[in-house]
Structure 1
């Protein structure tokens, strides 16, 4: 069995500040399925891929938000010039 640090369900929930229910809702699984996978550290390939893709989506959303902020700053700087 993998260490808790290696448990993708627990890592995903902790990293994103989600409950098992919230994660399940976002990736299409029941709270019970998510909880069982977290407890046993037996994650199906589809659930693993859903978690990995969800993490990637969240990372990309964060990058887009940063780029939008940068764009606004650049616009303000060019208006003042």
Structure 2
């Protein structure tokens, strides 16, 4: 993971570096330092990748819940 990818991830998710740090178990300073030095540790990159996966799974779950709700409503109509 590059610094640019990390910045883009924060921008896409509307996260501050402080918020990202809290979500992945790092301090804001560690995130800023990783970006400024362009040295993102394996642990930080892995934590960010896991956070990405969590966001993806939450989105899928949200879609599944909407389908479930619609299906239940359809069953109750018939």
TM-score, scaled relative to structure 2:
0.89
CA distance in 2, matches of 1:13, 1:19: 7
Q: Which residue of 2 aligns with 1:47?
A: 44
Match of 2:73 among 71, 76, 81: 76
Contact 1:24/1:30, CA 8 A, preserved across alignment: yes
Q: Distance in 1 between matches of 2:35 and 2:56?
A: 22
Runs of 4+ in 1 over 2 A off after TM superposition: none
Say yes or no: does 1:59 pair with 2:56: yes
Count of matched residue positions in the alignment of Structure 1 and Structure 2? 77
Q: Distance in 2 between matches of 1:41 and 1:71?
A: 44
Q: Matched residues in 2 for 1:58 and 1:42: separation?
A: 24
Structure 2 unmatched runs, 5+: none
Please give the alpha-carbon distance, in whole angstroms, between the structure 2 residues aligned to 1:55 and 1:72: 26
The equivalent position to 2:18 in structure 1, one of 18, 21, 32, is: 21
Length-normalised TM-score, structure 1: 0.86
> Deviations along 1:38-58, whole A, 9 cap, x unmatched?
222210000000000001101
